[in-house]
Amino acid sequence: MNIEILSLFSLIIVLLYLLVRAADLIEDGFVLIARTLKINEFFIGFVILSVVSSLPELSIAFSSNDTVPELSVGNLLGASFVLLTLAIGITVIRFGEIEFMGKFKEKEIIEGLILIGLGILTVSDGILSISEGLLLGVAYTFYVALVYDKYRKKRKSVDIINATVSARKIIKMFGQAALGAILILICSSLIVDTVVLLGQRVYINESIIGLFILAIGTNVPELTLLVRAKKIKQRNLALGTFIGSATINVAILGLLAVLAQGVDLKTGDGSNYYSMIPLMIILGTTLISFAYFSWTGRKLTKNEGILLLGFYLSLIIIELVLILIN
């Protein structure tokens, strides 16, 4: 392997690690502030943690919107695919089965899958317009409001965690959050530049790099939660975070469309669009299968987890074959 290519690949890995660590610095501050302000646990768990764990995807969307927005499209759809197949598949295989209970029941799961399906639909023709981006943003907001309303009605008591925090600790948290924000801006910009250069050296389009390298790298926070999960509650928290992060990627996709004033995946030779067709087909199949599993059995079994993992492996094989053919 060419030394320059190896160096670029290694640099991307290092930058992704720094990007995720920067998000961790911000996460502690967000949760502390939310609890200090007595924001309820739903928004801490579903909205705030999902938003913070998706900061890597969000930062790449901001950094690539005016240069290579197709990189972010591949990253966002690929990240959702990784969460629904690799992450949840491994979770089910590891724990045996997952029942849909608590905050996320089968109806909320299916509503989230429909939202992700809407994201696929908007890019299926190769063009993501500003109006479609606004539609995705409104749809995500409606989904959060819908899930929150159901959560609020089912809630019998208000479990607010009172946090008494010293001024020194608040200043420290804000300092960490500021450092994290600066690192995110720097790392995401360097990642985009490095990925473009790597794509030119290995003759692979940005969408594929976004799908395989960035989709895994930006999901490190969620995958770390999976590795650390040992108890049932931690397993259910991981599932909730996976679904929350997969759906918020749709909102980020909408934001990307607005920032980039529309995204045309068919520019140039159209390779970015054609390379994403297998992803859209298999991700769509995954959504239908996931909806069927969750609705019929109200749980995911080990065999169904193996099938989800199979979807992920099949996409890798198909894309590698296409790369070798071309």
pLDDT of residue 48: 67
β-pair partners for 301: 97
β-pair partners for 128: 263
Distance CA 23, CA 80 (A): 18
Distance CA 197, CA 203 (A): 10
Q: Is 126 exposed, middle or buried (0-12, 13-18, 19+ CB in 10 A)?
A: middle
> Minimal CA–CA distance to 278: which of 317, 249, 306, 307?
317
The rounded percent of the chain whose pLDDT value lies above 70 is 76
Q: In which band, very low, low, confident or very high, does the pLDDT at 124 lie, cut at 50, 70 and 90?
A: very high
Highest mean pLDDT among 11-15, 114-118, 200-204: 114-118
Contact assessment for residue 71 and residue 286, using Cβ atoms and an 8 Å cutoff: no
Q: In which band, very low, low, confident or very high, does the pLDDT at 158 lie, cut at 50, 70 and 90?
A: very low
- What does the pLDDT look like over 196-217, one tens digit per residue? 787 777 777 667 777 777 777 7
What is the chain's alpha carbon radius of gyration, rounded to the nearest angstrom? 19
Average pLDDT of the residues in 174-190: 78
Q: Which tokens sit at 167?
A: 């001024």
- What does the pLDDT look like over 145-154, one tens digit per residue? 887 777 666 5
Q: How far apart are the first and last CA of the chain?
A: 19
Instruction: Look at phi and psi of residue 211 and say left if phi exceeds 0, alpha if psi is from -120 to 50, else beta.
Output: alpha
Contact assessment for residue 91 and residue 304, using Cβ atoms and an 8 Å cutoff: no
Q: Which tokens sit at 202?
A: 């290995």
pLDDT of residue 137: 95
Residue 286 has pLDDT above 90, yes or no: yes
Distance CA 174, CA 149 (A): 31
Q: In which band, very low, low, confident or very high, does the pLDDT at 237 lie, cut at 50, 70 and 90?
A: low
How many Cβ atoms sit within 10 Å of the Cβ of residue 13? 11
- What does the pLDDT look like over 291-310, one tens digit per residue? 888 777 667 788 888 999 99
Average pLDDT of the residues in 55-80: 82
pLDDT of residue 119: 95
Domains and CATH numbers, the chain: 3-325 (1.20.1420.30)
Note the pTM of the prediction, 2 decimals: 0.78
Residue 160 has pLDDT above 50, yes or no: no
pLDDT of residue 30: 64
Contact assessment for residue 76 and residue 283, using Cβ atoms and an 8 Å cutoff: no
Q: Which tokens sit at 10?
A: 């290694």
Instruction: Go through 30-44 and write b for each residue having 16 or more CB atoms within 10 A of its CB, e for each that does not.
Output: bbbbbbeeebbbbbe
Highest mean pLDDT among 118-127, 157-166, 181-190: 118-127
pLDDT of residue 225: 60
Q: Which tokens sit at 298?
A: 């109200």
Average pLDDT of the residues in 9-19: 83
- What does the pLDDT look like over 16-53, one tens digit per residue? 788 777 767 766 666 666 666 665 555 565 666 677 77
Residue 187 has pLDDT above 50, yes or no: yes
3-class DSSP assignment, residue 299: strand
Q: Is 200 exposed, middle or buried (0-12, 13-18, 19+ CB in 10 A)?
A: exposed
